[in-house]
Amino acid sequence: MPTYDRRDFLKLVPALAAAAFQTASAQSTRRPNILVLVTDDHGIGDVGCYGHPEVRTPNLDRLAASGVRFTQWYANAPICSASRAAILTGRYPDRTGVKGALPSEPTWDVPGLRADETTLPERLRALGYNTAAFGKWHLGSAPASRPMNQGFDNFFGWYSGWLDAYSHRYYQLGGPPGKIFHDLWRNETEVFEEPTYMTELLGREAQAHLVKQTTSQPFFMYVAFGAPHYSMMAPKKYLDRFPANMDRDRRTHLAMVAAVDDVIGALLDQLKQQGMENDTIVFFQADNGATREVRASSDGLPYHGGSNEPYRGWKQGLFDGGMHVPAILRAPGFVKPGQVWDRPVISMDLTPTLLGMADPAGKPPAAVDGQNILPVLAGKAKEHDFLFWSFEKGRAVRNGDWKLLYNPPQFPGDPVPEKIWLSNLESDPGEKKNVASANPERVKDLMERLRAWEHSVGLTEAE
């Protein structure tokens, strides 16, 4: 796969994009199908094409070869619910009311996305799309927040933050009151499929839905895997792809990723078999980086099975490891294959980008924070001047190659005594050196902009 010096790439891409758009205009005027794939707690060091040869992801690797691989794609949050809210709305999650990770309750009354929120599937359905969601929802179990009240015609999956991979039950043990409940649904009807391995079950359901699609109506499929999130389980056939002497947690983690990759491969093959390969946009990203949570480990120590290398930090933290994630876009007729894009883009850009391809003559969607990245890839528009993040008491802002953290995260073995941390990501992508004291004016400016952003999205100022 070719890589480019940043300046050379920016010179090349306008001509490449122009040729791609000419191809698109010569194709059918039928709206493209859209397949969005989201993984859970999946680090950038857990995908082969990002330079990690021990990982087995041949299908994600071939997807990257047929589209654009983003080396600086950010999730809007280092945690699942908030990240997914941004993917499906195009807005900072703080505006949507979905902050952090929503609780999981058997009462099915957890508020999440609001009834008046305008989601990507709602916008696509207004353009004539059939819409379907599969897998982890975690954007609210109260009726107004459920998938079929947020723009999806069909749903197969669960509302909670995670499920046991075989029993399809959520459980929280170790302290009172504790809870365990089954959570698997087809539309609004509870279904029982245990002991089918969850990743394979999602693959079965998504592929069965895909088989039913025809050229008479465009479709939007949102497939949100529960892997490689806890619970850490993988069938032997996936474990056997990795050396028996590999670290136990790493081996299980990569086996779970391999199972996801197999499902992605089956969906890509199905598109080709149905003659839809060149009429379907495929986008993949992880919702946040790999975790350090003890509950995921096999030895009672902080989890070390996932990899965010070469970036510092983990899920639930605002160093880049928490939200600098793998992402790939294949868009025949819109994006030339084999590209690597090395400037920052973010999950909330997905909604306006997909809508721009689904309805090129339409107006940009209202009330979104993201931007259509096609003009950015074509060298006709600038990337975001500023990107912002929040998680609990932490805040972060990126401007160009500069990134400031306020209340940096504290992970086992990586204490950060400073309250303000400034890095230049061009020279220090691992955020190892704090240069705040040498750049007081930059710190002042970024803090002022961060405070203004907090106010604009309704956040209380972090102390």
pLDDT tens per residue, range 30-48: 899 999 999 999 999 999 9
CATH 3.30.460.80 fits 6-381, yes or no: no
Which tokens belong to 302? Answer: 């902080």
Q: In this predicted model, which residue has the larger pLDDT, 152 or 6?
A: 152
Q: Report pLDDT for 178.
A: 79
Residues in contact with 333: Cβ distance below 8 Å, sequence separation at least 6, in sequence order: 20, 21, 23, 24, 27, 32, 278
Is residue 252 within 8 A of residue 46, CB to CB? The reply is: no
- Give the CATH number of domain 387-457: 3.30.1120.10
Output the CA–CA distances (angstroms, integers) from residue 438 to 407, 425, 426, 428, 443, in the order listed.
19, 16, 17, 15, 9
pLDDT tens per residue, range 419-429: 999 999 999 99
Instruction: Count Cα neighbours of 12 within 13 Å in the Cβ-side half-sphere.
Output: 13
Rounded distance, CA 185 to CA 357, Å?
A: 31
Rounded distance, CA 109 to CA 98, Å?
A: 14
Q: Report pLDDT for 176.
A: 73
Mean pLDDT of the chain: 93
Rounded distance, CA 394 to CA 382, Å?
A: 27
Which tokens belong to 367? Answer: 């009330």
**What are the extents of the domains in the chain?**
6-381, 387-457
pLDDT tens per residue, range 296-339: 999 999 999 999 999 999 999 999 999 999 999 999 999 999 99
pLDDT tens per residue, range 46-88: 999 999 999 999 999 999 999 999 999 999 999 999 999 999 9
Q: Report pLDDT for 177.
A: 74
pLDDT tens per residue, range 255-294: 999 999 999 999 999 999 999 999 999 999 999 999 999 9
Q: Report pLDDT for 86.
A: 98
**Span 150-170, mean pLDDT?**
98
